[in-house]
Structure 1
Amino acid sequence: MKVCGFLFLLSLFTPWLDAKPGIKVKITQKGLDYGKQLGIDFLEQRIKEQTFANVSGQETYGFGGVDYTISEIKVDAVEFSNASVSLIPGTGINLEIKDATATVTAHWRVRSWLFRNSGKMTVLISGVSLSAVLSVSRDNASHPVLLLESCEAKVDAIHIELDKDASWLYKYFVNHLEKPTCVSLSNNMCPFIRFEIEKINAEMREHKVQAQIDSFAQVDYSLVNSPVISDTSINFDIKGTISPVGNDLETPFKPEPFNIPEENNTMLHIGISEYFLQSASLVYYASGAFDVSIAKELSSYFRLTTNSFGTIIPKIARSYKTPRPVTLDLKPTAAPVIRLHNGSTVLEIAGSMEVLVVLKNSTTQSMFTLSITARTHASLNIFEQKLIPSLCLDSFHLSLTHSNVGFFKVSLLKNFMSYILRNGVIPAANGKLKEGLPLSKMDSMMLVEPVVTVHQVLPQDVYCHGGWIKLMGGPD
């Protein structure tokens, strides 16, 4: 349900630990206006689906008392033609509805000592107004909770129409029901809103603040402090830590503070820090997810054999007269370091590459091992609510760590290894990265034409190092 996704964003205004965020989210007035329409559509649908209790009572006239019952009440149409949502700085959200209308059908039954009858009726309701202020708290399980701080409702007029064949007496009597019905509706609108908010809170409790990315990692979307509510936007901070599945241990580093500037042309801004990306790098490194064996990735370009190295390393050519397949096992020796600068995302990678020959019995034998340090840059895109990086190799350095085929000048392998890195290692890494890092789930909402920009933390943001990524867009 779209509205639940929007309310999930709005309802993340809750105090948490005194910590710095890895992710920041800003909802602008433009986003609130969009959410208002979602909320109105949602409210209209809920009202139409609502089951109303029977209304019974008694009216007294000159000829005695008349008992009446109104049953099978159903809202056929409802229209909120004038609705607005605005922010109360430092407090919450103000919802205003004016001049709403509705059409209700029901069955009626009257009984007195003189007569009794029943039939169908149509109730035309006009001039419905509602003013409500909502704030947000959290429960003991740290789920967001919407609170109705104040509510005022009023129905200006009700007109009741009976069946065409109803007598003038019944119509006269029913006309006297318009005023008490109007008062009853006015008194019950706010309890109805409160009841619907409780239902939303129940749905909100089903949302998990931790989302599993894959078999290796999970991301924590808990809030770290109270929101900052201005007259144009809502800003809230999310923990944004990626940790091993089933393990909530803190990372050995902390996020640096950053601020999303005031730009209100889009509905939603998401700021992602180096901390968020670096915590992901640490988890995947520790899990071994970055370990790759290069063979299939190169098969579309050429078949890697001992002959491929034999022209550079003479002992390989002498040892393997008949060409044998070669595989490359690449492992990082440390978690890749991620740096965000204005307009660029840089990854510094340190690893080792072991070159192995595949023997006739399908076992492998190590020929030599290289130490590799590489610098890459990444392009960042959003697809299906995931942040997907794609690496491109900038530069690298090789050194010989161990050799079973004698000493050789590593510089002779530079062009060859450049080809392997660009056409084997980097594509293999991108193949794993295409799974992406999930953004906070927003039900069926999708970001439309999101824009990704990379910023460096500026001195006026307290720290002059580190960086963050801003995702701008609006939901569909």
Structure 2
Amino acid sequence: MTVFLKKNLLKLKVGVNILADVVISQATIGSLLVDVSLCKSTAEEISVTYKDELKELWNPLREYVRVILPDKLCSKLHFMAEELNVYMGTMTGLYPLGPESQISYSLTHSPTITEEYMSLNISTTFYLLGKPIVLPPRVSSFSLPHQVGSKNAMVNFVLPKELFDSIYFLMQKSGSINLDITGQLNSINNQLTTSVLGNLIPEVRHQFPQSMPIMMKARISSAPTSTIHGDKVSLKLPYNLEVLAVSSNSAFKSLFSLDVIVELKLNMFVSGVKLQASVSFIKDIELKVNASNMGAFDLEMVKPLITSAFKNPLLEHLNALFGLGAMLPNIAKLNYITPEIFVHEGYIVVSCGLHFQS
């Protein structure tokens, strides 16, 4: 500690030794709580640079500093812990997870602290329109693995498959992975018309002699299924795809519906404090006739039209949705830097450094 008195070009230099017991526990709101249970501070070597005529002034001041400074330093340390707890409390806030849905984090119990690391077990709560949702029961045998991720990282997040399954379930409940695709009759390249479809299904041409636009409504029919295996993260989405046409009275008439299976590869990455993903198709989509108001028809003939009209809009929609990302546990003004992602059987590890914006 160095104090300058510019007027007289004097300098006071103090050596300080602080010993403190810092206790880290769980706050009632579910965040980390930092407390200083014991603090002892001593002023050691004190050197003074002064003018000879001021020697009588500085010698008493030096002893005063030796007595008063230790209490001031411990008070400052307690204040710093209280200020840090304000930031720690922000971990339990609500963070957007997608349209109309949120996620929050909280500690399940006090942290485990060893000489080498501190381990936090964090639970998640999901919200839809501001209300917590009840997740389906899952049988989980996941336990926190040891020595995962990067040894040089400041923090390693272990994200089990069950977390991703819960996120996909929330997307299903919120309807965010549903999709409507509407053809425009005046579009030059539009293939979603009854005249185009009527060339493949005669009954469509019979019921719609005048070309009308077609709409496709894709709705998730059952829970999405995720897989984390080897170095690959995949997601299977079962859709019910209803194909409708605008009738003469401007009402939509259902032509037929299809069961559709979409299998996607998720490429995970971290941006800021969010875990995001880009998606791509693993293989071509699977189609099966569920119901038809146009009589029997050859699905193989219709498949190229449906596939070409469905795949690109779906991919754009899902990439935009997964690009929003899921907030990782964090506190205000904290950013994750130099992230690395490791995929293991049944879980993902995110290793990164920390940067606090003061």
Offset of residue 215 of structure 1: 4.6
Match of 2:220 in 1: 332
Offset of residue 305 of structure 1: 1.6
Given residue 259 of structure 1, which amino acid in structure 2 is its aligned partner?
Answer: L
Offset of residue 120 of structure 1: 7.4
Match of 1:132 in 2: 20
| Residue 381, structure 1, aligned to residue 265, structure 2 | no
Given residue 447 of structure 1, which amino acid in structure 2 is its aligned partner?
Answer: Y
Match of 1:475 in 2: 354
Unmatched 5+ residue regions in structure 1?
1-100, 107-118, 457-466
- Contact kept, 8 Å, 1:355 with 1:366, in 2: the verdict is yes
Distance 1:207 1:240, change over 3 A: closer
Given residue 446 of structure 1, which amino acid in structure 2 is its aligned partner?
Answer: N
Offset of residue 178 of structure 1: 0.8
Partners of 1:357 and 1:319 lie apart in 2 by: 10
TM-score (norm 1): 0.66
Partners of 1:391 and 1:300 lie apart in 2 by: 29
Distance 1:365 1:120, change over 3 A: farther
Query: Equivalent of 2:3, from 103, 126, 143?
Result: 103
SS across alignment from 1:222: strand
Partners of 1:453 and 1:241 lie apart in 2 by: 24
Distance 1:341 1:225, change over 3 A: farther
Offset of residue 296 of structure 1: 7.3
- Computed over aligned residues only, the root mean square deviation of the Cα atoms, in angstroms, reads 2.9
Given residue 219 of structure 2, which amino acid in structure 1 is its aligned partner?
Answer: K
Partners of 1:229 and 1:156 lie apart in 2 by: 32
Distance 1:182 1:121, change over 3 A: farther
Query: Equivalent of 2:57, from 173, 181, 186?
Result: 173
Partners of 2:126 and 2:229 lie apart in 1 by: 21
Distance 1:425 1:300, change over 3 A: farther
- Contact kept, 8 Å, 2:258 with 2:289, in 1: the verdict is yes
Q: What is the aligned-residue identity percentage?
A: 21
Query: Equivalent of 1:403, from 289, 292, 297?
Result: 292
Match of 1:348 in 2: 236
Offset of residue 319 of structure 1: 3.0
Partners of 1:257 and 1:176 lie apart in 2 by: 65
Query: Equivalent of 1:272, from 159, 163, 181?
Result: 159
Partners of 1:418 and 1:282 lie apart in 2 by: 25
Distance 1:207 1:350, change over 3 A: closer
Distance 1:293 1:346, change over 3 A: same
Given residue 76 of structure 2, which amino acid in structure 1 is its aligned partner?
Answer: F
Partners of 1:203 and 1:284 lie apart in 2 by: 30
- Contact kept, 8 Å, 1:216 with 1:283, in 2: the verdict is no
Query: Equivalent of 1:258, from 133, 143, 154?
Result: 143
Query: Equivalent of 2:341, from 421, 443, 452?
Result: 452
SS across alignment from 2:66: helix
- Contact kept, 8 Å, 2:30 with 2:108, in 1: the verdict is no
- Deviations 1:114-146 (CA, angstroms, capped at 9, x unpaired): xxxxx9785522322222231212333334321
Partners of 1:475 and 1:362 lie apart in 2 by: 57
Partners of 1:260 and 1:302 lie apart in 2 by: 52
- Deviations 1:27-53 (CA, angstroms, capped at 9, x unpaired): xxxxxxxxxxxxxxxxxxxxxxxxxxx
Distance 1:214 1:395, change over 3 A: closer
| Residue 372, structure 1, aligned to residue 257, structure 2 | no
Query: Equivalent of 1:153, from 30, 41, 58?
Result: 41
| Residue 236, structure 1, aligned to residue 120, structure 2 | yes
Q: What are the residue-to-residue correspondences of 1:36-435 with 2, within 5 Å?
A: 101-103=1-3, 105=5, 122-160=10-48, 168=53, 171-205=55-89, 207-254=91-138, 255-262=140-147, 263-295=150-182, 302-359=190-247, 362-393=250-281, 394-435=283-324
Distance 1:390 1:302, change over 3 A: farther
Distance 1:308 1:442, change over 3 A: farther
Partners of 1:301 and 1:239 lie apart in 2 by: 49
SS across alignment from 1:473: strand
Q: Which moved more, 1:399-408 or 1:238-247?
A: 238-247
Q: Compare CA radii of gyration and give the structure with the larger one.
A: 1
Offset of residue 429 of structure 1: 2.3
